[in-house]
Amino acid sequence: MRGERTLGSREELTRRFGPGEEPRVTRAPGRVNLIGEHTDYNGGYVLPFAIDRWTEVALWPRRDLLVKAYAQAFEEEFGFSLPLRDPTPSGGWADYLLGILLELAGRGELPHGFEVVIVGNVPLGAGLSSSASLEVALALGLSRLYGIELGDLDLVQLCQRAENTFVGTSCGIMDQYVSYFAREGTALLLDTRALRHRYVPLDLPGVAFLVIDSSVRRALSQSGYNDRRRECEEALHWLQRAFPDRGIATLSDVTEEDLEPLAREMPAHLWRRALHVVQENTRVLSTVAALERGDAEEVGRLVSASHASLRDLYEVSTPELDFLVEWGLAHGALGARLVGGGFGGVTLHLVPEGEADAYVAALRQAYRRKFGREARALEVRPGPGAKELNP
């Protein structure tokens, strides 16, 4: 194949299903959210960047209505026939494919089946948005295969709806948005309410971005993530009743000054959730300012403050995640925090570049001694968004 080197999806397609025409190959990255956690579904600000790890799909059409799909990571094949007739989610990887197809079927005809393989190097279930990268890669490839015209934002929103309505995770739009729109070397400041973004140079000389995987896995649709979203909705309804003339539409419409006098009136857990969202929005904008002036120490301080808020106010951390962050801050990290929905997954560490190898080795040893688990480490760099790799 000419053009950019793939992750082997084309070769895997041929191995699984035999020779065929030149396949359509699409790729979408995972992401790390530098700061701005649990603000995306509350109308707030987020500051993610795409990582140099991807999900890649290769697909070609069939002459009948059969669909055959293979996921390399699970060594599983899945098949069905079009048109889809009220499919039921199974809780597995195929739900993402079915969810995207259901959304596309509402936009245009699906007159034939296809064969598709899915390969990738985004760690699964680790909080690096492997699900959004799969959704975006599938939506990009399948919309092109069927000639269904989608605008950029249409495609992103289609992927979010597929995860919300079929997969069953009440995620915000951040993950799909950055997977599609990201640019190399930058973070993406996204106003999730207005759906506007701008790029912020992610250039901190001498700083390495390390992702440390706790090896604690969680399925967001079955975890406390959906509980937290419901709690935010309850907090919003409470605040709307408290300020009936304010036109409050999201938790991001209130301020700390609004919340302070309500500390004894609101249910305590709802007040804490709202306070986290308000303060996290401020931290995102402060981080943008620190990045623009190249202040790595301030970026690290804000990142660490985000973790403390996620632990104490939003209550989505775990002992393993707290240990990784606290150990890091005690051993030279400029900043560290949990990344993603919480309840497991990964932490992000900002570490002096020349010390990264020794830092990782010592942290892994300390984590193994404390929990009897392995903590995998991955250095990530800000990469580009989704693309089609065909020549």
Please tell me the distance from the alpha carbon of residue 198 to that of residue 19, in angstroms, as a whole number: 43
Q: For this structure, is 175 an active site residue?
A: yes
Please tell me the distance from the alpha carbon of residue 350 to that of residue 345, in angstroms, as a whole number: 17
Give the single-character DSSP code of 140.
H
Contacts of 76 (CB under 8 A, 6+ apart): 70, 92, 93
Closest CA to 203 of 187, 225, 192: 187
Catalytic site residue from 95, 175, 213, 253:
175
Q: How many CB atoms lie within 10 A of CB 184?
A: 13
Q: Is the peptide bond before 83 cis (omega within 30 degrees of 0)?
A: yes
- The tokens of 360 are what? 């990782």
**Edge-to-edge strand ranges of the sheet holding 346-352:** 335-339, 346-352, 207-213, 376-380
Please tell me the distance from the alpha carbon of residue 176 to that of residue 208, in angstroms, as a whole number: 25
Q: What's the gap between Cα 166 and its chain centre?
A: 17
> Three-class SS of residue 120?
strand
**The Cα angle at residue 116 between residues 112 and 122, in degrees rounded to 5:** 145
114: amino acid identity, one letter: F
Please tell me the distance from the alpha carbon of residue 23 to that of residue 311, in angstroms, as a whole number: 46
For residues 303 and 34, the answer to whether their CB atoms sit within 8 Å is: yes
**The Cα angle at residue 217 between residues 212 and 218, in degrees rounded to 5:** 125
> Three-class SS of residue 250?
coil
- The tokens of 322 are what? 């707290």
Q: How many CB atoms lie within 10 A of CB 330?
A: 9
- Residue written as token pair 């497991």: 344
Q: Which helix (H) or strand (E) holds 155?
A: helix 152-161
Catalytic residues: 175
